[in-house]
Structure formats: C-alpha cells, structure tokens
Structure 1
Amino acid sequence: MRAILLPVFGSVLVACSGDRAASSASPAGASVAAPSVTDDFGAPLPTDAQFAERVVSLNPAATEAIFAIGAEARLVGRSRWDKYPAQVERIPALGDGIRPAVEAILAARPTLVILYATAENRAAADALTRAGIRTIALRVDRIAQFHAQLRALGVALGATARAAAVSDSVQRTLNRVRTLTARVTDRPTVVWPVWNTPPMVIGGGSYMDELLEIAGARNVFHELAQPSPSVSMEEVMARNPAYVIVSATQATELGRNDSWRALAAVREQRFITHDPVVTGRPSVVLGMAAVQLARALHPALADSLRDR
C-alpha cells in the first residue's frame, strides 16, 4: 500500500540511476561549482533564450520554477501532473510527464520542451530532437539540483536575474533554519517512510534527507545512497528511530499496520507530522518545508522559525 502520493515526481520513489548529477549549489559564503553545461541526459543546455518562444514543460518541479521566475507566459503546455501554482490550470494539459505522447507535444508547436530526466523519457527526448525540437531534461533529487535547475531555466527562458533571486531566497531560508537548529544538542533519530508495504524510506540520496538534517534531525537511513531505498521491517526496528515522519493520513495507516506496530515509535504514536504538499515538492517551497519540519521537531524554536 502506498503511504503518500507526492505532489510531484522526483527523488522520492525513484532510485538513483546512472543519470548525471547536476552541479552543486552551496550555502552562502561557500564556494560554488561552475554551472552545468549539459542537462541530465547529457545534451547541451541552451546558452540563451533563442528557443523560449513556445515552451512545453512536462516536469512539475520545472513548471513551478517557471512560474516562480516569471516566465509562465512562455508556456503552451504542461503535464496533467502539474498542480502548482494554482494558475497552472490555465495551461493546456498534454498528458503524462513520463512516457509522454510525442504527437500531443508536437501539436502544441513548441520551440522548447522540458522533460523529467528518467530513462523512461529518453525515447521522447530522442523523438523530439529528431523533429527539430530543443529539449531540456532535468531532475531534482538534491537541493543543489534545485538551484542548478533554476539557473538552467533562467538562462533558457531569459530570466536569469529572477532565477538567481529565487534561488538566493530559498537558500537564505534554508541557511536560517540550519543556523537555528545548529544550537540544538538533541537531534532526534527519525525514519521517513514513503511506502508502507513493502517499506520504502527516505535515504541519503534525497533532498528530503537534506531537509531532515537542516531541520535538526538524524535520518537513521542516511547512509543509504538511494533517494528512496527498499528496506525490511527488521532493519527499521534494528535502527529503532525515536520518531516516524508521517502525513496525517499515514499516521492512521501505520497505526493499523501490524508490521509497523512492531516499531516502538509507532505503537507509542511518536509521529512528526508533515504536509506532503510542501515537503513533497523539490521546488521553491524547500525553505518552507525546512521551516515546517524544524518547528515540528523542535517546538522550542517555533517562535524563531515563524515564516518571514
């Protein structure tokens, strides 16, 4: 049974593959890696906005970023999975974001198509390229990739200044949360299940693991490199996390699940509740997600973590 339905596809239910990682973004004051020159399929990224006249985005995180940088007027199509921001409903939906219908995309007469970088979309990227359409394939498994995505979209859509401003704003919030939680001496151990049976949990390859660290927690599966590895209940019980990160509905589901009830944190209802509408989006709400998690994990910091 699935535990939560994440609002956008991303790192959570996709194990790490051989796709190239995006370049790193660093907190303020640290050195920053040079921007990537290729997308996550290895294709050259646009160096200017010459392909930006008519854009189809079948990548929900990218679509939300396009709105955030003020380039939504260029959109002529989206996937049916794009839900944020609410204004996205005005953009024609062209079907699925994975294994998309190439004919429907071509009918929108795009000059640029933004895809989610998964192996299942390589065929679509190749078909669009053969049709003379420029493509960008991106994925966000880590916070650094979110910043890299913003940079790439800013260049491709002629909105570099706005993209930089959004990136800086998100990073400032993340830095503020990290600074506040650095004072905490008790960093609780947690497990974050994203699938109940068989268990799948957040691993060290996910931006959600990064959010936990920023928010002042220790993920008991941090050392696993995949974003969302499959684990056994025996492994979960052996690590004996103090808390379980859950959505409101998931708390009820785990409480009725005999396997999960073998875990003391579940039996004793030691849950940290999150809102998957926020935490499940590797997008411009990353700062908000860190704030929510930190306030839930460390109530004493709630006043200092009020939204700004």
Structure 2
Amino acid sequence: MPIYTKKVIAALSLALLMPLTAATGEEICATDDTGQEVCLDEPAQRIVALSPGVTELLYAAGAGANVVAAVSHADYPEQAQDLPRVGSYNRLDVESILAKQPDLAIGWHSGNSPGQLDRLEELGVKVYRSEQRDLEDIPSTLERFGKLAGSSDEAQAEADEFRVRRDELEQRYAEGENVEVFYQVWDDPITTINDEQIISEVIRLCGGSNVFGHLERLTPRLDTESVLAADPQAIVVGGMGEANQAWLDKWREYERMTAVQQQNLFFVPPSKIQRPTPRLLEGAAKLCEQLEKAR
C-alpha cells in the first residue's frame, strides 16, 4: 500500500466528506488533444491550470474566475499573477494540487510529466490534456474550455475573433515571395522547431518557410555549423525575455550569412509567439512585417 503524507491524506479525506453533486442534466463533455473524452456533471468551478499557456487560454475563454491555482511563470493576464502556485510545468506539486480540491486539472500534454498527470487521475482528479500544434487548435481549445467551464459565449466570441484576424494575416502575407527562416527557440544548446510545431505555421502564414522544418524532432537541437550550412535568409529569435535580443549578437559574427548580410536579424517577444494563445497573432503580425521587410 502506498504511503501518503499527512497533506495528501487530509486532502483526500476532505474530498470524501464533500456531498456528491447530482447531475443536473446531461454530462458536459469535451475531447482533449489526445483524443480522450473528459466529462463533468456540471461546469468546472475549481480549475487548476498546469502551464502558463493553459492559464492564459482559460482567461481568454472567460474562465479566469474559475481558476484556483497555476504553475510558476503563469504571468498573463495580470490577474493570473496572484494565483496560488502548484509547482512548475515540468515538476508539479501533486499534494498542493489535491489540496485545492479541483474538479478539473488542465495539463500540457508535451510539457507536463505524463506520470504526474496519470497520478492525478489515479487520485480522482479529472485531467484534460491540452496541446496546440496548429493555429486552428487555439480557437478550438477556447471553445472546449468554455464548454467545460460554462463560459461558452465569451469563449466563442474570442474564438471567432481569432479566426478573423488569422484569415486577414493569411490573405495579406501568405502568397508573398518565400523567405527562408531559421527560428531559434533556445540558445544553449541551439534549439529550433520543425514543421509540426505551431511556430512553423506562423512562418508559413507570413509567406516564409522553416529551413529546419524537415527534421523529425519537434524541437531539434543544432550546432552552429548546421545553421551556417542552411544559410537562412532571415533569423528570428525568441530570446530569454520580452525585450532581450542578445541571441542575435552571436549571429552577427558570421558576416557571410545571407541573413547577416541583408540585416534580416529579427526578434519577437517569446510570450507572443511561443505560447499557443490568442496573443500568438500579435507575434504573427510582427513576424509578417519582419519577413515583408526581408523581401
């Protein structure tokens, strides 16, 4: 028999003492991004968000008031900064999550520990696994979150607006002359993305192509020589902060690179392109303008 800490036992005991809620009608169900159907007897009132992106999506879907805890670095919108913390996205504090008595935990499928998400389910927590791989996944997620949280009207309005803005960008830029792009998501080791990652779709939306899109791994690691050999027409970095463009300094040393010669070295704040939320279109608009300049 597993040995639990007093904190876990207290949380489980309290949950058992709570009265069972009778279903008021049909179950509320939504299919998560792994194909698993998640069903609730009533809209979720106590949601734990297990990644910064999930937190932002919940607020955008009108469910912010229902979020009772989040992980570290969940900093948007401003209200989210005051939420209690239950660990980091890659190391959840299961005891703290249980203590919040959630009726729904929304995890990041490729970022959270699979074992910890499974453990939460074993302990009776409903778990929805979220993963956005293309732009349409963002409004679709908003709609599903709104359904589970009882905020469908606000979620639908946000989803509709996202689709309109996405289509406007596509109509304006997607047919432009191709620009070969290297996107850098991390610096040590040098890390990029392949064509299955959502940032590559943003690049295509702007009429560009990812020079490392063919690689098998979602976030491939590279060496400097690989980037030099690819000789991209533009280099775009996410940086280590909302205004820190230091990663571009390294590439300026390689004066024979096409991107350096043409001064096509660009920065996009990471929260506006590396989080799959409605703000991604702000980053997309900035990137499209940069690639237009590169043309």
TM range (shorter): 0.7 to 0.9
- Structure 1 match to 2:50: 58
Equivalent residues of 2:186, 2:238 under 8 A apart: no
Instruction: Supply the RMSD in Å over aligned alpha carbons.
Output: 2.8
| Aligned equivalent of 2:184, options 167, 189, 193 | 193
Could you tell me which residue of structure 1 aligns to residue 202 of structure 2? 211
Shift of 1:43: 3.5
Higher relative contact order (CA 8 A, sep 6+): 1
| Greater strand proportion | 2
Query: Retained in 2: the 8 A contact 1:196–1:254?
Result: no
Percent of paired sites with the same residue: 26
Determine the structure 2 residue equivalent to 1:237: 228
Q: Does 141-150 or 163-172 show the bigger shift? A: 141-150
My pick for the range that moved more, 265-274 or 159-168, is: 265-274
SS in structure 2 of the partner of residue 191 of structure 1: strand
Q: Provide the C-alpha distance between the structure 1 equivalents of 2:198 and 2:84, rounded to a whole number of angstroms.
A: 30
Greater Rg over alpha carbons, structure: 2
Determine which of 215, 220, 230 is the counterpart of 1:224.
215
Aligned residues: 264
SS in 2 for 1:129: helix
Normalised by the length of structure 2, the TM-score is 0.78
Q: Deviations over 1:234-267 (max 9, x none)?
A: 3322321111112577654443469866634246
Which residue matches 2:124?
Answer: 132
Q: Does 1:273 align with 2:267?
A: yes
State the SS of the aligned residue for 1:45: strand
Aligned position for 1:112: 104
Distance of 1:164 and 1:107 partners within structure 2: 32
Equivalent residue, structure 1, for 2:286: 292
Contact 1:112 1:134 in 2 (8 A): yes
TM-score under structure 1 length normalisation: 0.75
Provide the secondary structure at the position in 2 that maps to 1:298. helix
CA shift at 1:98, angstroms? Answer: 2.1
Deviations 1:84-133 (A, max 9, x none): 11110222122212231111111111111111113752222222222222
- 1:72 is displaced (CA, Å) by 1.2
Q: Judge which range, 267-276 or 36-45, deviates more.
A: 36-45
> What stretches of structure 2 of length at least 5 have no aligned partner?
1-28
